[in-house]
Amino acid sequence: MYKAQFKSLLKSIGQMPLETACALQLAVICYGYNHLLMLSYTAPRLTLEFGEEARPEAITDRINHMIDRLAANLDQELSPKNRASAILCLLESLSFQKNPAAMEVAFNAMDEYLQSHEGSQAGSGPLPLKGSQAGSGPLPLKGSQAGSGPLPLKGSHPTEDSTDLCKILCYHYYFTSDENSRRQAEAILDGWISELSTEYNRSAGKEAENHRVALAATENNRSAGKEAENHRVALAAMENNRSAGKEAENHRVALAATENNHPAGKTADRHLPADKGAGRSWILPLPKALERLAALAMYSDMVDAQRYENQLYRILEHYARDPQIARQVRFLVIVSHMGYFKKYHKLMEQITDHVMQGDLSMEQDKTQQCREQDLIQAVRFYVLAIYYHYRSPRT
3-state secondary structure 177-239: CCHHHHHHHHHHHHHHHHCCCCHHHCCCHHHHHHHHHHHHHHHCCHHHHHHHHHHHHHHHHHH
Q: Would you tell me how many other CB atoms lie within 10 Å of the CB of residue 205?
A: 11
pLDDT at site 210 = 55
Instruction: Determine the Cα–Cα distance for residues 39 and 395; give it in Å rounded to an integer.
Output: 10
Alpha carbon 52 to chain centroid, angstroms: 32
pLDDT at site 227 = 59
Q: Collapsing DSSP states into helix, strand and coil, what is residue 213?
A: helix
H/E stretch holding 310 reads: helix 309-320
Instruction: Determine the Cα–Cα distance for residues 245 and 203; give it in Å rounded to an integer.
Output: 9
H/E stretch holding 211 reads: helix 205-219
* pLDDT tens track, the chain, 395 positions: 788 999 999 999 999 998 889 999 999 999 999 999 999 888 888 888 898 889 999 999 999 999 999 999 998 888 888 899 999 999 999 988 899 999 999 999 999 999 988 754 333 333 344 334 333 333 434 433 334 444 444 434 343 448 999 999 999 999 999 999 999 999 999 999 999 975 444 434 445 455 555 555 555 554 445 555 565 555 455 545 444 444 444 444 444 444 443 333 333 333 444 444 456 889 999 999 999 999 999 999 999 999 999 999 999 999 999 999 999 999 999 998 888 888 999 999 999 999 998 887 666 555 566 888 899 999 999 999 999 888 776 54
Instruction: Determine the Cα–Cα distance for residues 35 and 17; give it in Å rounded to an integer.
Output: 21
Q: Would you tell me how many other CB atoms lie within 10 Å of the CB of residue 60?
A: 14
pLDDT at site 266 = 33
CA-based nearest residue to 296, from 277, 321, 315, 317: 315
Amino acid at the residue 220: N
CB of 68 closer than 8 Å to CB of 99:
yes
CA-based nearest residue to 295, from 160, 138, 388: 160
Rounded to 10 degrees, the C-alpha dihedral 93/98/100/103 comes to 30
Angle between helices 245-259 and 225-240 (to 10 degrees): 160
Amino acid at the residue 248: A
